[in-house]
Chains A and B, each alone.
Chain A
Amino acid sequence: MPKKKNRKIVVDFLIVTWVATVLGSYYFYNVGYYEEKISVFWGFLSRFII
């Protein structure tokens, strides 16, 4: 029973690690994209707001 439980904990941990790795890598490689898009979009909005 403890063996099964340990296996489940490992699987749980692997799942969360996997999703976190994907997300972290994505932002690491695309931070420039988001900076650029946010500045363009802010420029678009500010033309109408200001």
Chain B
Amino acid sequence: MTAVLFVFAFTIVVTGIGWTVTGWLDPKGHLSSGERLGVSFLSGCFSVYFGVFFIGAYRLDSVTMWGLAAACIVLSLPGLARMPWRPFQDACRATLTAVSGDKFYGLLWLLTLATALSGLLQGLAPPDDYDSLMYHLALPKYDLEIGRLAIPWDRSLAHVFFPAFGGNISRLALALSNDGAAQMIHGMLAVVAATGTALFVLGMGYGRRIALLAALMFLASRVVIWQMGTVEVDVPLAAFVIFAVIVYRAWRRHQTVGLGILFGLMIGGGILMKLHGLAIALSFAPLMIYDLARKRPSLTSWLAGPVTALGVWLPHIFRIYPITGNPVYPLFNSLFNPGQPNYFAGVKDMYGTGRGIFDVLTGLWNLSVLPMRYFDGMVLGAPYILAFFPLLMLDRERLRRWAPYLAIALLYYLQWFWMMSQQVRFLSAVLPLVMAASAVGAALGWKQVANNRALRAVFATLALTLSLNQAMFVGIYGLLRLPVAFGIISPLTYHNKTPTLTGANYETCRYITKNLKPGETYFSNTDTFMSYYCPQASVVRNYFPDEAKWWLYSKKAPILTFDEFLARVEDAKFRFFMVSIAYESRRNNTAKSIIVKRDPSVYRFGTYLRPVLDQLQPLVKDNFTAVYDGRDVLRLLKLQKGG
């Protein structure tokens, strides 16, 4: 319940701050009230990002974060006082009136609100997605345990140098509330993205039914409903992208410096949310150059966006460049640091059918129809984008109006295709635009066949099948996460019964958390990740502090002899040893879970530890990890040396 209140307060406060900012930058109200609300929420979030960024560098705990929260509350008051509450109430009343007279519109509202609310509340479930356990939540938890922003070098994660717009929101939420609040705020960003999708459609001249359908289609997408209950950042990036498009659309009409700055804030926020925002910025470039040539705006107004985006990104660059020598680390590392490791080189060619012209042309078909075969799983769900998106061509009159915005999506797709790892979830950034076009396509298709009774019945049946299929995905996520979110089942039962890739290590981590005394440390060589549920600062994970930075500069890990390892273990007096015993693979056509037993000797120090662990019973174990008593391990390691 505190998490829900926290998220409610967070939303009000950041929107209040952003309302003042948008008032300064768009005094003539070129953005509609709805557009301004969305932009206000997103620009208000910068106060949290920068607050944690600068304050957390010196001290990060509940005291400083309450201080930041108090400052944000004060800053939000002028904006909240100036908000047009009465017109907002009138708009709500008008919507209720419209709903009562239009059953289909009412149904769309009902489904949209139910999907959004379900997704938001799923954030209250214990975190169980791979990336959040590995770094989105684990890194903020590490910082809070340390008491300032820091780098856990022994995780060997380049992700520690990613921009942390979402991460800093999580840091505030963890300091003042809990991980449920962190997840719900990220869910709120998905709601903002859905709102942006609807507003974009309205701004293109279509009606409220199509706008709402677009928002629903976005929210029901499998990647969105999955990420809403997590602190993943693909969908939050989409929120910045769609509002960047909306603000840029307004800028094209009015070309004010203020709108340029707001556009820069949206682009900069996107980059800080996820580095893929850089590809979005590049996707805008041809349109901006075209507008510079055709519309001849003042150079100040034209440059306001790029300069602002760079300005909000610079503090992050100043933080990582002295350490990595690469302003966009880990991207393009071979360019900035020749000879040093290219961190994500291994995943670049894991997905997709290839990088040829035929592959790029058939890409949308393949990722929609054959997602399990070539890509990162069932990311979109039922193929309603592929079915309806091409039907946009039926609206020949308005195609020219669509062209600039579809060009942004197309350019991003091409960059994704040729420059990135072809994970479909990375396309989420342009999902609002694509969903807007698909919703319009669906409406146009319906209108086209409306006079033919037989074809209309077939079209309706196909659309209903797609809808029910997608409703199944939405429903399943709700059924999995909502019982634990409402306390009907315990987190332990949830983690034990819910299919989660390679598990959350919940049971083993909770055991360590419960039994590790202040000042004690433990060792872990788990191969997948250092789970968020484990204590983060008191672990030595694979690499001891003096050797932990190796991965930044070298492709080969340092080697310790048995005697060196033993000396360090003796010195550290580890209370526990946590090791991997199995891993899970679902990279197959049906996503069938295959659990593979792991030979402990494949991990670092595994050859030293295996003979010892073979003689011991674990204190606790789950499907994937086991925890051993550190004193027993040390005793047997000494015996092994003696023998």
Contacts and interface: CB of A to CB of B under 8 A. Distances in A.
Interface of A: 8-9, 11-13, 15-16, 18-20, 22-23, 25-26, 29-30, 32-33, 35-37, 40-41, 44-45, 47-48
A26 B452 contact: no
A37 B591 contact: yes
A32 B590 contact: yes
Nearest to B476: A41
Nearest to A36: B590
B382 interface: yes
Given A36-B592, A40-B593, A16 B368 contact: no
Interface stretch (B163-171, B454-462, B624-632): B454-462
Contacts, number: 80
**Chain B, interface SS category:** helix
Given A20-B462, A23-B462, A33 B448 contact: no
B368 A26 contact: yes
B372 interface: yes
Interface residues of B, number: 38
A16 B465 contact: no
B383 A22 contact: yes
Contacts of A25: 369
Interface string B380-408: 00110011101100100000000000000
A35 B387 CA distance: 23
Given A22-B386, A26-B383, A40-B499, A16 B590 contact: no
Given A33-B591, A44-B480, A12 B369 contact: no
A36 B372 CA distance: 12
Interface of B: 368-373, 378, 382-383, 386-388, 390-391, 394, 445, 448-449, 452, 455, 458-459, 462-463, 465-466, 476, 479-480, 489, 497-499, 589-593
Q: Which 4 A-B pairs have the closest CB atoms?
A: A32-B590, A36-B590, A22-B387, A19-B387
Contacts of B589: 32-33
21 contacts: A9-B452, A11-B394, A15-B394, A15-B449, A16-B458, A18-B387, A19-B387, A20-B462, A22-B369, A23-B383, A23-B462, A30-B369, A30-B372, A32-B589, A33-B378, A33-B590, A33-B591, A35-B590, A37-B591, A40-B593, A48-B489
Nearest to B366: A29
Given A12-B449, A19-B387, A47-B497, A29 B369 contact: yes
Contacts of A35: 590
A25 B373 CA distance: 13
A16 to B, nearest CB: 5
Contacts of A41: 476, 479
Contacts of B590: 32-33, 35-36
A9 B451 CA distance: 10
